[in-house]
Structure formats: structure tokens, C-alpha cells
Amino acid sequence: MTNRKRVFWATTALFTGLMAAGAASAQSTGTEATEATRLGEVVVTGTRGPRNIDGLAVAETVAKTRNTVNQEFIATQTPGQTILQTLNLTPGLSFTNADPYGSSGGNIRLRGFDGNRVSLTFDGIPLNDTGNYATYTNQQLDPELIERASVNTGTTDVDSPTASATGGTINYVTRRPASEFGGWGQASFGSFDYQRFMFLIDTGEFGPMGTSAWFAYSGTDYDKFKGLGEIRKDQWNARVWQPLGDNGDGAADLVLAGTTVAAGRGTAVVFATGAATEFGGVARLARRFDLPVWLTYGTLSGFESLFADVDARVIEGYCAFEVGGIEVLPFPVPHDAREPAQFVFGDGVRRLGVLTDTGEATRHMERMLSCCDALVLECNHDPDMLRESSYPQPVKDRIAGRYGHLDNGAAAQLLASLDRSRLQHVVAAHLSQQNNRPELARAALGAVLGGDHERIRIAEQERGFDWIAVD
């Protein structure tokens, strides 16, 4: 009887298996029939996703492993919490807080390195201890005053302003004062008798130069998370903002006023490189006249917020591009900036070469600037005047170094190495007001041109130079 049951169950299992196999075979036949069907035109429609998801997933425009959060997301976190706790959500970063409110310190881990090997900067200023590179996580700026914070988890830039950036860099940027008068206040309460009060006042723009400022205070008081006692922290913060514009010497408003007519007829702004003070002027100029701005990834890096409402177009790999019928040929130069570029402009008949920031000449630069009809050439300083100037020695070394600026003699040597068969005009540019004189630059370039000083113009810092007609 037992054997019969076993045979019965075995037969049932075999029959069931055959049914399943038959079903599978039928499904396969249907799939083949579907695959054999020829489809007509297939249209795939896609849309660009958001470049900013609630301030947390902010689109990056630099070629590096970086994660950024902005105030939109920071405002959703616990008031008064250290910014490092907010950044704890970014990949690669681990921050352990010593208490729920962030005023007792904590430990940073980035790519496996501890906080002593992570650069922490505030508006680009190093915050690590100068002795042991420690980071004091409970002594950071109030999060309400931070515009954005970034974590670089890839290879550290060679120009990182710290000696402790083996593991990566963390930088946060202070909010700018608002253009209109206003203010706000807030109060927070929680467990452990937590109390926090904060207020901020924006002055709005005042004075003839558009100066603005904000002033803020916060006071935090709560019982210690472990043990007896309490923690009290008071912060008084202020920031005064004075736009200097696009030449870094305080004369930007004059320069912008002088270029208003030209910009009104312009097609685009091609931005080579510059100091931090120059980016604001370029952004304002582009915004005022609704002009696109062409610049490299490195030049844009760190200043994305300035160009948030500007049509910023990235120059890919120093490849040529066209603006309003003018071909623009970018080329790299040795200069202490991020991905600096200079340019040759051509319309198919005439060529204009522009070189205003470089520490030395290269063979590639000579090839690019040869056969130009007009040339704007950096003559930054006279070596003797720079040597005897009151500048600190590190600044002198930077200016005269391989990644600094061309002196009059170096500019003349470069000019002598070029094919000048078509050259009609030379403009000496970027002259230092303290360490150069127009007659010195003119004499150096004139010696190369056989004493023909009529072809030489000097670009002044306050007003540039007049229009030049090229035949």
C-alpha cells in the first residue's frame, strides 16, 4: 500500500511538471511571436531633471567628486546644529556628534581619514589647528548664516589652503547681505532644558557704492547630555559686503560705466580667469545686459552661486567655439588660477590675440599668438621696481614666478618670438600701478618693433583703451 502511494505521488508530480513545462513552452512561443513583430517609428521623449532637489542634491559644474548642500536644505535641520552634522548625509563623510545639539564637539571621518587630515575652511580661510590640524566642530558658524557647504571627496587640489587635506576638503560659504533692509528672529526649545534664541538684521544697500551688511546674534543654553553642568554658547557675527567689481582694484564701477555702450551692443562675455573680486563684476555685467558668459570649469568652480541666474557656458577642454560669427580659440597658460585660459579671436580675415595673465611663455602660446593682426599683451611689472617695492616677499615671489605675471622684458621676448608679419597694433595690458610705468612697457615693446612706438597702446586700469581699427 505504501509503495502504491509513492508511485501515485511520483506520477502526480511528473504530470504537474509536464503541465508546467507546457505552460512555459506556450509562453516562449508567445514571446517569439512578439519579437517577430516589426514596429514602426519609435519616439522617445525625455526631460532634463531638476538641478537642485530641495537644496540637498545640487548639480555640480566642476570636474571633481564634490557634494554640495545649500541654505534651502540647511534650513530644514535642527537650529544651531553644527554644519558638519548637516553634511553627514553626503557620501564618504561620517560625523559623530557628542550630543544632540552639536555644542560638545564630534569626530570627522572622510574617506577613512580622521578630522586631523581633513581641511575645514570658512570662506576659504583654514580653520584647522596650526599645531596638530585638529578641527573644532562645535565652534563653527551658525548654520542660518551659511549660504552653502561643500565636501570634496576626491583628490585634493594642489592649491588647497591647508596642509591637512589628505582626506579631502570641507568648505562653507557665508551668506551675503540682502540688498533690501529686513531681519528675522527665532526661538527654539527642546529636551535637556534646551533654549536657543537668534536674530539677524540686514541693512540693505547704503552709500554711493552699494555697500551692505548684516549683523546676527545667537545664544544657546542647555544641560549637558552626559554628567552634571550646562553648556552656554554665544555668537556675535557680522559681515560687510562691498562689491569691487571686475578689475579687483576698486575701480570696477568706473570700468563698468565706461563699457556700458559696448556691452549694450555685445553678444557675450568671454571670461579668462580672475581673482574672487572680479567674478561679481562679470556676473553683474552679464545680468544687466542679458549676456551669456563663456568660462572654463575651473574658473567657474566655487563661484556657481554668482552665476546662478546668468547663462554660464562652459568651455570644454580648450576647444574652439563661436560667438556671434567670431571664432574663439582658447589656450591654456601657466598661471596661479584654476584652469586659466587666454584667447585668440578671428572672423576668418583678421585675428586678435589676448594674453593678460601668465607667468611665462610657452611654445604653444607662441604658435597661438603668431600671425595676429592685433595683440593685447601683458606687461605687468618692471623687475627692479617689484624688487624694491613694499610688497611682502611671498607676494613678490608669486608675481615674478612661473605662475605669476609677465614683466616688461618677458613680454618683449615673447613678442620677438612671434610671427609679426601681419601685426598692426600691440596693446600693453595689466600694468601694475605700483611696480610699472607706461614708458617702461612702451620702451620694451618698442625695441622689438624697431622703435615704431606708433603701433603701441597702453591699457589703463581705470578706463582700458580706445577703440582700435584693424585693416
Cell numbers 575651473 correspond to 298
- pLDDT of 157 > 90? The answer is no
- Comparing 22-26, 70-74, 107-111, 442-446, which segment has the lowest mean pLDDT? 22-26
168-174 sheet: strands from edge to edge: 66-70, 146-152, 168-174, 118-122, 125-126
Q: Where are the domains of the chain?
A: 52-174, 182-241, 252-458
C-alpha to C-alpha distance for 424 and 411, rounded to whole angstroms: 17
Q: Tell whether the torsion through CA atoms of 279, 280, 284 and 285 is positive or negative.
A: negative
pLDDT digits (tens, 9 = 90+) for 106-141: 888 888 888 888 888 888 788 888 778 888 888 889
Nearest Cα residue to 212 out of 201, 220, 223: 201
Give the confidence band of 271 by pLDDT, cuts at 50, 70, 90. Answer: low
pLDDT digits (tens, 9 = 90+) for 65-97: 778 888 888 888 888 888 888 888 888 888 888
Give the confidence band of 23 by pLDDT, cuts at 50, 70, 90. Answer: very low
C-alpha to C-alpha distance for 307 and 313, rounded to whole angstroms: 10
- Comparing 25-34, 148-157, 346-355, which segment has the lowest mean pLDDT? 25-34
Residues 6+ apart with CB under 8 A from 314: 61, 294, 295, 296, 297, 300
pLDDT digits (tens, 9 = 90+) for 296-318: 888 887 777 777 778 888 888 78
Q: 214 - beta bridge partners? A: 202, 239
Q: Are 281 and 275 in contact (CB under 8 A)?
A: no
Q: In the CATH hierarchy, which fold is given to the domain comprising 52-174? A: Ferric Hydroxamate Uptake Protein; Chain A, domain 1 (2.170.130)
- pLDDT of 18 > 50? The answer is no
Q: How far is CA 23 from CA 33, 36, 305, 471, in A?
A: 16, 20, 61, 84
Q: In the CATH hierarchy, which fold is given to the domain comprising 252-458? A: Metallo-beta-lactamase; Chain A (3.60.15)
- pLDDT of 246 > 80? The answer is no
pLDDT value of position 202:
94
C-alpha to C-alpha distance for 62 and 307, rounded to whole angstroms: 14
DSSP annotation of 454 reads: G
